[in-house]
């Protein structure tokens, strides 16, 4: 095995092994480029139940079921303060882009949102029948306790 396997070849190999045990496979593809995520989803269409992207923090609006029954979205988005730059306080990030100097990036506190998807999957076939994107405001858990509540 090479120190850095090609993620597409690795995914095909892992999925082939997993399908011997179950048709219910969800791939969380933690990657930057939408082209890579779409290519991975298309390559695995019909072989896995869902391919959902993470990492960019920005929820995309491309949720869909591919022809082979694989649910897909480029990025499910992040849970946390959205009056922010990807969950961090705004001004330090702006300063960093202007002066290139190291900055602390404290976690932002305002306008919390919960982002994600709900996917319905046929248990026997492992095919997805629907994918619904969720994004709604929640109370700041620091102010309300440990459980975010929908507002
Ligand atoms: Fe990441």
Residues 99-117: tens digit of each pLDDT:
999 999 999 999 999 999 9
Q: So what's the pLDDT on residue 18? A: 98
Residues 49-101: tens digit of each pLDDT:
999 999 999 999 999 999 999 999 999 999 999 999 999 999 999 999 999 99
Span from the CA of 29 to the centroid of ligand 1 (angstroms): 10
Span from the CA of 31 to the centroid of ligand 1 (angstroms): 7
Closest CA to 13 of 36, 43, 37: 43
pLDDT at 141 over 90: no
B/e letters for 43-76, b = 16+ CB within 10 Å, e = fewer, are bbbebbbbbbbbebbebeeebebbeebbbbbbbb
Q: Please tell me the distance from the alpha carbon of residue 51 to that of residue 53, in angstroms, as a whole number.
A: 7
Span from the CA of 56 to the centroid of ligand 1 (angstroms): 7
Burial class (CB in 10 A: 0-12, 13-18, 19+), 87: middle
Assigned fold of 21-144 = Purple Acid Phosphatase; chain A, domain 2 (3.60.21)
Span from the CA of 20 to the centroid of ligand 1 (angstroms): 30
């Amino acid at each position: 095995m090479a120190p850095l396997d090609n993620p597409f070849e690795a995914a095909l190999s892992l999925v082939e092994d997993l399908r011997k045990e179950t048709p219910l496979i969800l791939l969380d593809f933690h990657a930057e480029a939408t082209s890579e995520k779409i290519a991975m989803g298309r390559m695995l269409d019909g072989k896995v139940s869902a391919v959902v992207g993470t990492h960019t923090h920005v929820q995309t609006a491309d949720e869909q079921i591919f022809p082979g029954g694989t649910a897909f979205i480029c990025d499910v988005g992040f849970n946390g303060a959205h009056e922010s730059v990807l969950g961090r306080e705004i001004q330090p990030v702006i300063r960093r882009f202007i002066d290139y100097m190291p900055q602390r990036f404290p976690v932002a506190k305002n306008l919390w949102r919960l982002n994600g998807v709900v996917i319905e999957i046929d248990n026997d076939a492992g095919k997805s029948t629907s994918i619904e994107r969720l994004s709604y405001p929640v109370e700041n858990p620091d102010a309300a306790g440990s459980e975010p509540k929908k507002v």
